[in-house]
Amino acid sequence: MPTASTSSYTKVQFLQRQAASLLLYQSVLQGEVGVAFLDLLQAIRYTDADARSCLQAYGIYFHALAARNQNWEDYLITQILISENPFTRLAQQREFEDLPSALVAAAQHDLQALQSLYECSSASLSEWVQTVAQLPISPVVWYQEPKRVGTDTRLFTSLQHLESWGNAVEDLAAYYQQFGSGLFAEYHALRWQSGQFVGIRYADTVKLNTLVGYESQRDALLKNTEFLLSGEMALHVLLYGSRGSGKSSLVKALLNEYSDSSGKGKAQRNLRLLEVAKSELKNLPEIVEHLRGLSQKFIIFVDDLSFEEDDDAFKALKVVLEGNLTARPQNTVVYATSNRRHLIREFFVDRPAPKDHEEIHAWDTMQEKLSFSDRFGLTLTFEPADQKTYLKIVGHLAAQAGINIKPEDLEYQALQWATRHNGRSGRTARQFVDFLKADLAIFGADNNMSDTQPEN
């Protein structure tokens, strides 16, 4: 039966013991790549007569690395930097000298063990597989130039060259205190879904410089966001007004303005955008408690907000906006958008009348409904775009898109588009410019776009 050499067999046994001995950082090896790595070690140590299991395990390991487009070494360090465990959580809340000594010792132990796994390169694994499977040449080794976007490259480089990773425990604690851990370190945009946080890998890339026509509202929202990022008590914000005016885009653009952790100027404040659907608002108090004490700053984004009478979501949001005996965390704020100034639907039948005998203070109940939006500390109003504002937005977007046609032609076609489609708004302007750009790219400048549009 083909087996690894005595030296490689002993090495594999050692690596398996190191992996099994982890006290805090087990999550590093629980992802697809980590599981594939451990399964490959097992296959190398105990293989069948024709070595098929070993070759299959190596194929799964190779595939897992290729799917992430990441080397084993870079993957391992990345998982250490985003690991969620008692050490990483407490390091965000306390200074290093205040951490329990047993916790620090456990972290040092795990770092030493993980360094052993780090030093087991894919090239070494390939050679062991060649020996076990009695192949004439070793299997292809996965390798990709490192891409360390969004991580602290200094710490990355330090771990690569440090003789003993146990000596990096204080630097790691400082890293977690600045950048956090777990999903909130890995993702800038998240949503609450079915009782848990879910990372959004491909968040909307809308930028502030693409949004024009509502500069005063933008500046007010930016100032309030600066309060949040500076550790001051920011206000909850309601953005309400006409559809397509850019309310949601403005909130999403904040993420791209402030979430970067590169340390360049204002971008180092670690903003996170957490989307909470109306159907999930009943969990809002629980969500806020999860975020308390974390190093990041969170905008809880609620889009298209409105309520029915006796809605549990209304009661949950009211608790978060108004507070209760639990102090409000300063790292969390709610930004909600709505097309309605009065967020709770009201019917004429709800209005008190002299014949009402069911409630003595019916006017008080109605006023509570109508004044709910006042519980937001800041309300920003987005009026419908007039023709001047609409054309200003079109001109700005067309310039950014590199569209070069006569201004009078651009304005004429833009107004035709608004008439035939959804009226004047920022959304309509974006749709028009996107269509015009594609139209010019495919059919050329001589094509008359208006001839292609059917009348409603």
**Would you kindly state where each structural domain of the chain is located, as residue ranges?**
6-181, 208-382, 387-452
H-helix or E-strand spanning residue 441: helix 426-443
Grade residue 435 by pLDDT with cuts at 50, 70 and 90: very high
Residue with more model confidence, 326 or 429: 429
More confident position, 50 or 187? 187
Query: Sorting pLDDT into bands at 50, 70 and 90, what band is 267?
Result: very low
User: CA 26 to CA 38: how far, in whole Å?
Assistant: 12
Provide the 3-class DSSP secondary structure of residue 338.
strand
Assigned token pair, 300: 């809880």
Tell me the C-alpha distance between 202 and 419, whole Å: 34
Q: Give domain 208-382's CATH superfamily.
A: P-loop containing nucleotide triphosphate hydrolases (3.40.50.300)
Of 175-189, 301-315, 348-362, the range with the lowest mean pLDDT is 348-362
HSE of 236 in the Cβ direction (CA atoms, 13 Å)? 20
The token pair that represents 277 in the structure block: 């659907």
Report helix angle 122-133 to 52-68, nearest 10.
160
Question: CA-to-CA distance for 24 and 17, rounded, in angstroms?
Answer: 15
Helices 169-179, 72-82: crossing angle, 10 deg rounding: 70
pLDDT tens-digit readout, 114-151? 999 999 999 999 999 999 888 999 999 998 877 655 55
> Which residues partner with 378 through β-bridges?
237
Q: 150 with 268: CB under 8 angstroms?
A: no
pLDDT above 50: residue 103: yes
**CB contact burial 166-196 (16+ within 10 A = b; e otherwise):** bebbeebbebbbbbbbbebbbbbbbbbeeee
- The mean pLDDT of the chain is 83
Sign of CA dihedral 52, 54, 60, 62: negative
Helical H runs in 181-303?
A: 183-186, 215-229, 247-258, 284-291
pTM, two decimals, is 0.76
Please name which of 211, 190, 185 lies closest in space to residue 202, comparing C-alpha atoms. 190
Instruction: Report whether pLDDT(367) > 50.
Output: no
Q: What is the mean pLDDT of residues 13-35?
A: 96
Does residue 357 carry a pLDDT above 90? no
What is the predicted pLDDT for the residue at 422?
79
In Å, how far from its chain's centre is CA 181?
13
Tell me which residue of 228, 8, 26, 235 sits closest to 133, measured CA to CA.
8
For residue 241, what is the DSSP state?
A: E
Alpha helices in 230-347 (DSSP H): 247-258, 284-291, 312-322
349 contact partners, CB below 8 Å, separation of at least 6: none
* pLDDT value of position 60: 97
Tokens at residue 156, please? 């990355």
Environment class of residue 77 by beta-carbon count within 10 Å: exposed (0-12), middle (13-18) or buried (19+)? buried
Query: In this predicted structure, what is the pLDDT of residue 451?
Result: 47
Q: How far apart are CA 132 and CA 130, in angstroms?
A: 6
Where does the pLDDT of residue 199 fall: very low under 50, low under 70, confident under 90, or very high at 90 and above?
very high
Largest CA distance in the chain: 96
- Band (pLDDT 50/70/90 cuts) for residue 282 is confident
* pLDDT on residue 225: 95
Lowest model confidence (mean pLDDT) among 114-123, 168-177, 333-342, 404-413: 333-342
Residue 16 has pLDDT above 50, yes or no: yes
* Euclidean distance between CA atoms 156 and 148, whole angstroms: 9
The answer to whether 416 and 430 have CB atoms below 8 angstroms apart is: no
- Distance from C-alpha of 307 to C-alpha of 312, rounded to nearest angstrom: 9
- What does each C-alpha distance from 165 to 27, 239, 273, 317 come to in angstroms? 18, 49, 33, 45
Residues pairing with 237 in the sheet: 335, 378
Contacts for 412 with CB less than 8 Å, ≥ 6 apart = none
Say whether pLDDT at 350 is over 90: no
d(CA 270, CA 151): 12
**Confidence (pLDDT) at 152:** 59
pLDDT per position as a tens digit, 230-261: 989 899 999 988 787 888 989 999 998 886 54
pLDDT at 366: 41
Least confident residue range of 142-151, 184-193, 218-227, 380-389 = 142-151
pLDDT above 70 as % of the chain? 81
How crowded is the C-beta side of 422, counted as CA atoms within 13 Å? 14
Question: With bands split at pLDDT 50, 70 and 90, how would you rate the model's confidence at 104?
Answer: very high
Question: What is the helix (H) or strand (E) element at residue 240, kind and residue range?
Answer: strand 237-241
